[in-house]
């Protein structure tokens, strides 16, 4: 665990440059705008350890899978979001020596991510080995309202003596992914051009043939006045640059305003990429840095207006939640249903930048509550558009009749995960995708999504579950063999409770969808029966039998559902009995030892308890939590949030706060010792859930917003905002009351501590009660 960042409510602040933390900082200080993003790399040369990262949404490469042996159905590749052209580069030389913080002495170093306004600021003084001292300031942002544009304002001031600067702004597409399986470069040059003050490189990806144009245009100021230096242009493979030299006196300040444009063939014809890049650069320069920045700030103000969470009395917690919300807002904007949310977003390469079940399980609720309804709908449509690929994935594994197995990892709907125990066995992901349809409809009331999009996905998934189970003559029940649950510290187990439970629930929900279509869309339903060759009588009869006779492992002794068959054969030693020196076990133990242990990576049985809490009484939820949480090592970033929410429901308020802080500051404090690989973006959706569903106690039941809030003892108050069915609400909680402010004309029905209320449009409601608090 690291704790080198200053606590601040609206900023992430690093004071002093410590190279040992640099990779972590590059992740934490990343920027994005939904279409593109980059890590917090330096503009100038840095010869120390760094992970250069610039990413373009939707652009990927199918890197050939690297395995020791092949199995039928095995994915041929692992899709990777590519490290794209670096446009932020501005190399600086002072009297012939490179400005390089790996070799300079630095003073007054400050790196600051302003989350309120969405920009990165860096300032430092440097003493080079030739004795020259300079002061540098760099400010950059990626425009939210114009997501093809980025801008940098970079200045250098001479401090102790006159000197000659050589400045080289460049675009470099000759880049490589750190996680390339065969150390292969994935980009090929298509076109480049360079002229004084500007340059572009158009490159295409191998195999997938995406074209991306990356351009720069810059202007130079000396002591605040625009100048026109003599520029020397240069080009080589996938690279263009300008260079100029200028003599500076002491306290002279040279400032470069550099605009970047990133244009993808996902949005323009390939023969238009170069010209469109030039157009966007000209447009950016015409607007200028200040106007672009003002519009960018205004866009962020609108985002914070609907998604901000305020905590009074706990700066660390406040900083943590805003960092999570900031990253979610800059990673996915929801205006393109071909895009999704990679586990690392625009902050790193790990997990390939591909789509996992994390989106449906942990991110969807955030966008449902804080963005326009279409944003969440687009996340569902992403999966519907890939339904045929999911059916093909099922066919590769031997499933028939339109059975859909959604991929564990994907870019285009095709499975591309390269670990067999995940690819073939972690099939609970299908249940998460079905649950997301329910979650969306339950929250928005948009039942029409069922016709036809929701039904088609549910039918494919239900057909998969129907074929995936088999009937055990021994048990006289249906069983689910050879699976991996959410707890990936168990592989190839039989009858994982969560997986089997999700199968049963999906079948039930699909039967409900059928009844809805029959009553409300009878003609469409007939068309769907024909389209999908749906034998309703025969198929639903089997589903009902599975629902009735599915085997779910149960312990009479402990009165809990078991994670899987044989779980009680393990040595059940609580996590708090482990030697701290052996944590985290995924970095200290052999895989064999982990698999034989009782330790749980993340919520497994408790994932079902969270999603279906109304199916279990308080005592049952308590038994399950008290049995499984002490065995959970929380070595998945997705683990603390579920436990926080369940702990809040069970009035285990100290545990809620502990788990919340862990998820909120997971990356800021580097809890899992892996932030250098990138931030855990999808788990940040879980952080939002932990806050709103934990501290706020938010649920949607019977078309009503339900709240059971509590407030941590050290907090004075907290507030959050949500959208709900055309209404926008602010909820404010302190020690003595909870207040609801309806900022729209739409009436909303509430339930607060099991008591019903009506909140009229443009009105407020105060419910006075001593709010529960932890110790």
Residues labelled catalytic: 488
Structure tokens at 206: 């191998």
Question: Residue 507 in contact with residue 514, Cβ under 8 Å?
Answer: no
The angle at the Cα of 549, spanning 548 to 550, to the nearest 5 degrees, equals: 110
Q: How far apart are CA 362 and CA 360, in angstroms?
A: 6
Structure tokens at 635: 């070595």
For 10, 145, 392, the CA distances from 119, given in Å and listed in that order, are 12, 14, 43
Question: Residue 425 in contact with residue 77, Cβ under 8 Å?
Answer: no
Please list the residues that pair with 153 across neighbouring strands.
Answer: 139, 257
Instruction: Report whether the peptide linkage leading into residue 486 is cis, meaning its omega lies within 30 degrees of zero.
Output: no
Per the rule left: phi > 0, alpha: psi between -120 and 50, beta: everything else, 656 is: alpha
- Which has the closest alpha carbon to 289: 330, 256, 329? 256
- Which has the closest alpha carbon to 511: 543, 534, 464? 543
Structure tokens at 208: 């997938």
Question: Residue 21 in contact with residue 2, Cβ under 8 Å?
Answer: yes
Residues 6+ apart with CB under 8 A from 341: 331, 332, 355, 358, 359, 363, 379, 681, 682, 685
Question: Residue 40 in contact with residue 327, Cβ under 8 Å?
Answer: no
Phi, psi of 514 (to 5 degrees): -60, -45
Phi, psi of 719 (to 5 degrees): -145, 155
Please list the residues that pair with 114 across neighbouring strands.
Answer: 11, 119
- Which has the closest alpha carbon to 419: 405, 407, 432, 431? 407
Residues 6+ apart with CB under 8 A from 503: 431, 465, 468, 469, 480, 546, 550
- Measure CA of the first residue to CA of the last residue in the chain; give whole Å: 25
Question: Residue 331 in contact with residue 303, Cβ under 8 Å?
Answer: no
Q: How far apart are CA 476 and CA 554, in angstroms?
A: 16
Q: How far apart are CA 732 and CA 708, in angstroms?
A: 13
Residues 6+ apart with CB under 8 A from 730: 719, 720, 721, 740, 741, 743
Mind giving me the DSSP string for 130-163? TS-EEEEEEEEEE-SSSTTEEEEEEEEEE-SS-E
Q: Which 3 state secondary structure label does DSSP give 80?
A: strand
| CA dihedral sign of residues 292, 296, 297, 298 | positive
The burial of 396, by beta-carbon neighbours within 10 Å (0-12 exposed, 13-18 middle, 19 or more buried), is given as middle
Q: How far apart are CA 44 and CA 35, in angstroms?
A: 24
Helical ranges in 386-427 per DSSP H:
387-396, 420-423
Phi, psi of 530 (to 5 degrees): -70, -45
SS3 content of the chain, % helix, strand, coil (to 5): 35, 25, 40
Q: How far apart are CA 368 and CA 255, in angstroms?
A: 43
- Which has the closest alpha carbon to 136: 87, 100, 170? 100
Question: Residue 483 in contact with residue 426, Cβ under 8 Å?
Answer: yes
């Amino acid at each position: 665990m690291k704790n080198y960042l200053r606590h601040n409510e609206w900023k992430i602040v690093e004071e002093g440059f410590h190279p040992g933390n640099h990779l972590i900082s590059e992740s934490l200080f990343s920027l994005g705008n939904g279409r593109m993003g980059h890590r917090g790399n330096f503009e100038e040369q840095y010869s120390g350890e760094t992970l250069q990262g610039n990413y373009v949404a939707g652009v990927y490469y199918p890197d050939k899978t690297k395995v020791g042996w092949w199995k039928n159905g095995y994915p041929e590749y692992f899709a990777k979001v590519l490290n794209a052209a670096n446009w932020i580069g501005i190399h600086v030389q002072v009297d012939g020596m490179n400005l390089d913080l790996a070799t300079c002495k630095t003073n007054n170093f400050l790196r600051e991510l302003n989350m309120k306004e969405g920009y990165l600021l860096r300032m430092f003084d440097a003493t080079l080995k030739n004795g020259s001292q300079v002061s540098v300031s760099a400010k950059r942002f990626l425009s939210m309202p114009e997501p093809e544009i980025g801008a940098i304002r970079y200045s250098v001031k001479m401090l102790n003596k006159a000197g000659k600067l050589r400045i080289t702004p460049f675009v470099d597409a000759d880049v490589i992914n750190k996680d390339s399986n065969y150390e292969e470069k994935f980009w090929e040059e298509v076109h480049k051009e360079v002229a004084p003050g500007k340059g572009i490189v158009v490159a295409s990806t191998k195999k997938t043939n995406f074209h991306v144009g990356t351009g720069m245009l810059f202007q130079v100021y000396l002591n605040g006045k625009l100048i026109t230096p003599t520029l020397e242009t240069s080009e080589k493979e996938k690279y263009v640059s300008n260079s100029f030299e200028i003599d500076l006196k002491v306290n002279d300040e040279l400032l470069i305003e550099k605009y970047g444009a990133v244009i993808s063939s996902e949005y323009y014809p390939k023969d238009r990429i170069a010209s469109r890049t030039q157009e966007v650069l000209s447009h950016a320069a015409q607007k200028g840095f200040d106007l672009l920045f003002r519009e960018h700030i205004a866009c962020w103000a609108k985002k914070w207006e609907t998604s901000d969470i305020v905590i009074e009395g706990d700066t660390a917690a406040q900083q943590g939640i805003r960092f999570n919300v900031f990253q979610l807002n800059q990673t996915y904007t929801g205006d393109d249903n071909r895009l999704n949310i990679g586990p690392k977003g625009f902050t790193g390469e790990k997990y390939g930048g591909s789509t996992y079940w994390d989106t449906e399980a942990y991110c969807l609720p955030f966008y449902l509550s804080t963005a326009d309804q279409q944003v969440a709908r687009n996340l569902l449509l992403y999966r519907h558009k890939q339904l045929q690929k999911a059916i093909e994935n099922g066919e590769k594994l031997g499933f028939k009749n339109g059975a859909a197995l959604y991929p564990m990892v994907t870019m285009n709907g095709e499975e591309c995960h390269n670990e067999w125990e995940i690819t073939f066995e972690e099939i609970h992901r299908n249940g998460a995708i079905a649950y997301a349809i329910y979650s969306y409809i339950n929250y928005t009331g948009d039942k029409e999504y069922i016709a036809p999009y929701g039904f088609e996905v549910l039918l494919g998934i239900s057909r998969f579950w129907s074929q995936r189970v088999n009937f055990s003559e021994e048990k006289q029940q249906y069983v689910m063999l050879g699976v991996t649950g959410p707890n990936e510290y168990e592989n190839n187990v039989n009858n994982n409770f969560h997986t089997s439970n999700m199968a049963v629930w999906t079948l039930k929900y699909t039967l409900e969808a059928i009844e809805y279509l029959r009553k409300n869309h009878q003609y469409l339903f007939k068309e769907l029966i024909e389209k999908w060759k749906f034998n309703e009588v025969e198929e639903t009869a089997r589903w009902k039998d599975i629902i009735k006779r599915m085997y779910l492992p149960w312990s009479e002794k402990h009165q809990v559902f078991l994670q899987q068959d044989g779980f009680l054969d393990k040595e059940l030693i609580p996590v708090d009995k482990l030697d701290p020196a052996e944590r985290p076990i995924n970095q200290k133990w052999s895989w064999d030892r982990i698999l034989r242990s009782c330790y749980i990576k993340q919520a497994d049985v408790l994932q079902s308890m969270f999603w279906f809490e109304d199916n279990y009484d308080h005592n049952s939820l308590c038994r399950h939590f008290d049995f499984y949480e002490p065995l959970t090592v929380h070595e998945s970033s997705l683990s603390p949030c579920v436990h926080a929410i369940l702990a809040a429901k069970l009035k285990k308020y100290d545990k809620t706060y502990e788990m919340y802080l862990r998820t909120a500051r997971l990356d800021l404090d580097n809890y899992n010792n892996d932030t250098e690989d990138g931030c855990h973006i999808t788990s940040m959706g879980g952080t939002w859930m932990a806050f709103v569903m934990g501290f706020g106690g938010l649920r949607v039941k019977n078309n009503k917003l339900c709240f059971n809030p509590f407030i941590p003892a050290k907090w004075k108050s907290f507030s959050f905002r949500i959208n709900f069915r055309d209404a926008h609400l602010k909820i404010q909680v302190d020690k003595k009351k909870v207040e609801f402010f309806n900022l729209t004309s739409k009436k909303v029905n509430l339930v607060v501590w099991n008591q019903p209320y009506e909140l009229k449009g443009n009105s407020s409601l105060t419910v006075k009660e001593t709010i529960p608090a932890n110790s």
